[in-house]
Amino acid sequence: MARKTIVAGNWKMNMTPTQTAELIETLKPLVVSDYSDVVLCVPAIDIPAAVAAAKGSNIEIGAENLYFEDKGAYTGEISADMLLDAGAKYVIIGHSERREYFGETDETVNKKVLKAIEKGLTPIICCGETLTQREQGITIDWVRQQIKIAFQNVTADQAKATVIAYEPIWAIGTGKTATSDQAEEVCGAIRQCIKEVYGDAVAEEIRIQYGGSVNAGNAAELFAKPDIDGGLVGGASLKPDFSKIVNYK
Ligand code: PGA
The model's pTM is: 0.98
Residues contacting residue 56 through CB under 8 Å, at least 6 positions apart: none
Q: How does DSSP assign 158-189, residue by residue?
A: HHHT-EEEE--GGGTTSS-PPPHHHHHHHHHH
Mean pLDDT of 206-229: 97
Reported confidence tier of residue 1, pLDDT bands at 50, 70, 90: low
Which of 41, 130, 172 has the most ligand 1 atoms within 8 A of CB, as the residue to mutate? 172
98-120 pLDDT per residue, tens: 999 999 999 999 999 999 999 99
Taking residues 9-16, what's their average pLDDT? 98
Angle, helices 47-54 vs 17-27, to 10°: value is: 20
For ligand 1, the distance from its centroid to the CA atom of residue 42, given in whole angstroms, is 13
> What share of the chain has pLDDT > 90, as a percent?
97
Question: Does the annotation count 167 as an active-site position?
Answer: yes
Torsion-angle region of 62 (φ positive above 0: left; ψ -120 to 50: alpha; else: beta): beta
Question: If you measure from the C-alpha of residue 211 to the centroid of ligand 1, how many angstroms do you get, rounded to a whole number?
Answer: 6
Q: Are 61 and 47 in contact (CB under 8 A)?
A: yes
pLDDT of 2 higher than 90? no
The boundaries of the domain holding residue 92 are: 5-246
Residue 9 has pLDDT above 70, yes or no: yes
Coil, strand, or helix at residue 70? Answer: coil
**Residue 130: other Cβ atoms inside 10 A:** 16
Tell me what the mean pLDDT of segment 78-107 comes to.
98
Q: Which CATH number goes with the domain that contains 150?
A: 3.20.20.70
CA-CA distances (angstroms) from residue 22 to 28, 130, 143, 176? 10, 35, 37, 29
> Which residues lie below 8 Å from residue 59, measured CB to CB, with a gap of 6+?
24, 27, 28, 31, 38, 39, 40
Average pLDDT in the 159-188 region? 95
Which is nearest to 60 in space by CA: 13, 17, 124, 14? Answer: 124
Domain count, the chain: 1
**Confidence label for 176 from pLDDT (cuts 50, 70 and 90):** confident
Q: Which whole number is the average pLDDT over 79-108?
A: 98
60 is catalytic: no
Q: How many residues does the chain have?
A: 249
Exposure class string for 29-63: b at 16+ Cβ within 10 A, else e = eebebeebbbbbbbbbebbbbbbebbeeeebbbbb
Q: How confident is the model at residue 233 (pLDDT cuts 50, 70, 90)?
A: very high
Cα–Cα distance for residue pair 168/139, rounded to 1 Å: 9
pLDDT tens digit string along 54-72?
999 999 999 999 999 999 9
Catalytic residue among 60, 97, 129, 167: 167
- Please count the CA atoms within 13 angstroms of the CA of 198 that sit on its side-chain side: 25
| Residues within a 6 A CB radius of ligand 1 | 10, 167, 172-173, 211-214, 232-236
The answer, yes or no, to whether residue 175 has pLDDT greater than 90, is: no
Q: What average pLDDT does the chain have?
A: 97
